[in-house]
Chain A
Amino acid sequence: EDQVTQSPEALRLQEGESSSLNCSYTVSGLRGLFWYRQDPGKGPEFLFTLYSAGEEKEKERLKATLTKKESFLHITAPKPEDSATYLCAVRGGADGLTFGKGTHLIIQP
């Protein structure tokens, strides 16, 4: 059974204070690791897909990396508008995604 564990559950940072979110996974035949952002009352919004160990992707202040056991979402010099819940999910043998519980990120001005 595919499993995804995200840490920390919650993180509070000062504006400009860089940090990383962790996503550990076990999956039979990885067909993609996905990062989503979710704002209150809204659905998950796609950020990145990673397919193989060593792959990295960037978008503005976010950078996602992947190893064989975990993925990191690095956030550099965050702004208050980066506050959200960040979700990690994997696609393995089945087509449906297996999600972690998410990291609730708060960026204080």
Chain B
Amino acid sequence: EAGVTQFPSHSVIEKGQTVTLRCDPISGHDNLYWYRRVMGKEIKFLLHFVKESKQDESGMPNNRFLAERTGGTYSTLKVQPAELEDSGVYFCASRHSETEAFFGQGTRLTVV
């Protein structure tokens, strides 16, 4: 069974540019989550999808971040325009019902 896949694995962009991260969850997992780890800090929750609906987006930092999950399959997280403080590792996770969450390998975003 394929795991959670994220790409790109690394992205370096200039301040003010736009970046889109993609996450392909495990097939059949209705729940999809985005998390972020900023250097030196803990992994923090950003938002939660159930199928194509946003269940909880309380962790989204500001309106420069836009997450979508069209058709309830893969998800994208767009940052527009990117700022220096957006640098970090973005993780996606998926789970089925009340089981544990499985994480992808992460996308390391560097804004210069």
Interface-central residue, B41, B56, B101, by most chain A CB under 10 Å: B101
- Which one of A45, A46, A89, A95 contacts B31 once the chains associate, using CB atoms below 8 Å? A95
Among A45, A94, A102, which residue has the most Cβ atoms of chain B within 10 A?
A94
Which residues of chain A are near B100, meaning CB under 8 Å? 34, 46, 49
Q: How large is the interface on A (under 10, 10 to 19, 20 to 34, 35 or more residues)?
A: 20 to 34
CB–CB A41/B105 < 8 A: yes
Report the minimum CB–CB distance from B30 to chain A (whole Å). 11
Residues of A within 8 A of B91 (CB): 43-44
With A46-B100, A94-B58 known as contacts, the answer to whether A99 contacts B105 (CB < 8 A) is no
CB distance B101 to A45 under 8 Å? no
Q: In the complex, which residues of chain B have a beta carbon less than 8 angstroms from the beta carbon of A87?
A: 43
A34-B100, A43-B4, A49-B100 in contact; A96/B59 too (CB < 8 A)?
yes
B103 to chain A: closest residue by CB: A43
Residues of B near any A CB (own CB < 8 A): 4, 31, 33, 35, 41-48, 55-56, 58-59, 91, 93, 100-106
